[in-house]
Amino acid sequence: MTSSIWNVQTRSAGDGVKYQPAGVIFAVDGTAYPGAPGAPIPITNDGTGVWSGFSSGIVGGLENVADGLWGSICIGYEASTIPMWPSVQQGRGYLVAAIQNYTAGFSQIFGFYPPIVLTGYSQGSMITDQVWVLDILAEDGVLHYLLPYVYRIYQFGHVFRCPGIAHGNALAGLPESILTDGVESGGIGATLDLTEAQTNYVAPDGSPVVYSCANAGDIYTCAPTGPNPWTGIAPQGKTGELFFQIVMQPTLIDLIEAAEVLATPIASIEEGINAGTFFAEGPGAPHYLYFPQMLACINDAVQLGQSLPHLL
């Protein structure tokens, strides 16, 4: 389920010159975005569209400042809360299909695949990470042939953020390393968090591919994981990881473990306080305040697009 602002025939009809965007951006917004499961309609300066999150916000922002420089596809999916994992996998399937369809059409017209940018917000960042790791990076991935064309993945409220790395923050002049409860923070996905190699994979322009955006206090992307959530998560992060598993696809064992964890350790209580503070803040929580990083990522995408072959 997608929407697109790229149409070579339509844009070419006015002056007879073939339009060539610099590349394409695929945007996936987060849980229960307005209009789900329909595709988000990016909000723009002319008053059209609806604010659905920071990923479609990038698409709308680029349309405002550099209309046509990038083609775009916004992905629609269920964006469910609980259980979340089936929703993530549905979104992954839709995103893979959109990438396949767009790049095939682009290749038929121009004779080569387009430069590719992905962007995800919250649950949407889980979808783009799954596609990046399992479908593009993996040698047996269905999109592995497109790996040489992937330039950026802008991730907001990055659930699978690699601890200590947040290149999107660096773009905005913000720190990449954020301590939570005295330990290095990473995505609440813990064992599913991106590795340093997956995050810093080198794009064709020499930059790292993954640009995580993380706000202190955002429990989804600044969970107290410690530097090794894959095999040695910090005690402070175990409760968050457990409750993340319950949200993803709860099992009876998960529920029993949750009851046992909440009965004891101080480190678990610390993270419970973090979660309580987060939910008490509501719309003012750090998870919803990525506007500085979004602006920085838009500027980066404009600079990137202008450096690539295009014809507007």
Q: DSSP letter string over 250-281?
A: --HHHHHHHHHHHTS-HHHHHHHHHHHHHHHH
- The answer to whether residue 280 is domain-embedded is yes
**Among 189, 187, 242, which Cα is nearest to 215's?**
187
Distance in angstroms (rounded) separating the CA atoms of residues 297 and 129: 17
Q: Helices 252-262 and 266-281 meet at what angle, rounded to 10? A: 100
What's the DSSP call for residue 69?
S
With beta carbons less than 8 A apart as the criterion, state whether 1 and 77 touch: yes
- The answer to whether residue 164 is domain-embedded is yes
pTM of the complete model: 0.89
- Tell me the CA distances in angstroms from 160 to 72, 153, 157, 225, one per residue in order: 24, 13, 9, 11
Determine the pLDDT at residue 281. 55
**How many domains is the chain built from?**
1
**The domain spanning residue 284 has which CATH number?**
3.40.50.1820
Question: In angstroms, what is the C-alpha Rg of the chain?
Answer: 19
- The answer to whether residue 312 is domain-embedded is no
- The answer to whether residue 10 is domain-embedded is yes
Backbone φ, ψ for residue 23 (5° rounding) = 170, -160
Per the document, the length of the chain is: 312
Task: Please report, in tens digits, the pLDDT of each residue of the chain (312 residues total).
Answer: 444 444 544 454 455 567 899 999 999 999 889 999 999 999 888 888 999 999 999 999 999 999 999 999 999 999 988 778 889 999 999 999 999 999 999 999 999 999 999 999 999 999 999 999 999 999 999 999 999 999 999 999 999 999 999 999 999 999 999 999 899 999 988 889 999 999 999 999 999 999 999 999 998 899 999 999 999 999 888 777 766 776 666 554 554 454 454 454 545 444 554 545 544 456 788 999 999 999 999 999 999 999 999 998
Domain residue limits at 185: 2-307
- The answer to whether residue 87 is domain-embedded is yes
Determine the pLDDT at residue 81. 83
With beta carbons less than 8 A apart as the criterion, state whether 1 and 94 touch: yes
Determine the pLDDT at residue 262. 47
Six-digit token string for 26: 């695929």
Three-class DSSP category at 73: strand
- The answer to whether residue 77 is domain-embedded is yes
